[in-house]
Amino acid sequence: MAIKPRDMAKMIDHTNLKPTATVEDIKKLCDEAREYEFASVCVNPIFVPLASKLLEDSSVKVTTVVGFPLGSTTTETKAFETRNVIKNGAQEIDMVMNLGAFKSEAYDLVKADIKAVVDATKTAGVTSDIIVKVIIETCYLDNEEIAKACEIAKEAGADFVKTSTGFGSDGAREDDVSLMRKTVGREVGVKAAGGIRTFDKALAMLDAGANRIGTSSGVAIVTGETDDGDKEY
């Protein structure tokens, strides 16, 4: 049976990670998430307490980001940030891989960095399972590197691999999503994010193997409209 725009809401992280996002913007994001029943809202760490309070009696989860958007903070910082956002109510963590270490072929370090975040979710003092997604920023990787990054994330215990931050030189591409799915198999999720503005593009990502969509155009997607967004791609 063909998926309809409204049915896609439960697979969408309704996102506002803009550096200039205001309290009013986040309240609006949370209202929309309730109305359309998105999987989660994805907000910067400073807004986790607010989003968590606004959504406490709803099915919408709170996703936030760690080491965002460059992935270049230290492992200790990422681990602290993870515990801190969970204390504030985050239920899903989208962390950025250490891209500099990856490009230096320091794969043990990359894996330890991810594992530290996974471990931090288990020592944050909450009993519920916290989802960890690893953003590998595909626009900076060739196919071999995409597959390698996905293998490392899976070995480190990540729940999802995610294409993009939305702040790199390009966003989600179908062929990358397809390679990511092929690499991680069915036990690990694949989140496509960055530049997904229409229902058709979101559908193409699901067809390529994604099972979660990150987008700042969630309302346009589930209402079948087009949002031009504010990005070059």
Ligand X SMILES: O=C[C@H](O)COP(=O)(O)O
Name the residues annotated as catalytic.
94, 162, 191
Measuring CA to CA, how many Å separate 63 from each of 42, 104, 155, 194, 231? Answer: 4, 30, 22, 16, 22
Query: In the range 15-74, which residues lie near ligand X by CB under 6 A?
Result: 15, 17, 42
Binds ligand X by CB under 6 A, chosen from 194, 202, 205, 220:
194
CB of 101 to ligand X, least distance (A): 21
Binding mask 114-153 for ligand X (x = CB under 6 A): ----------------------------------------
The whole-angstrom separation of Cα 228 and Cα 60 is 25
Binding segment for ligand X (CB under 6 A), chosen from 1-9, 137-145, 191-199, 200-208, is: 191-199
Query: Which residue, 183 or 217, is less far from ligand X as judged by CB?
Result: 217
Cβ 38 vs Cβ 32: under 8 Å:
yes
CB of 179 to ligand X, least distance (A): 19
CB of 213 to ligand X, least distance (A): 9
Binds ligand X by CB under 6 A, chosen from 5, 89, 166, 168:
166
Give the β-pairing of 61-66 and 40-43. Answer: parallel
Query: In the range 197-226, which residues lie near ligand X by CB under 6 A?
Result: 214-217
Give the β-pairing of 131-135 and 160-162. Answer: parallel
Rule CB under 6 A: say whether 168 interacts with ligand X.
no
Query: Which residue, 71 or 195, is less far from ligand X as judged by CB?
Result: 195
Site residues for ligand X per CB under 6 A: 15, 17, 42, 165-166, 171, 193-196, 214-217, 231
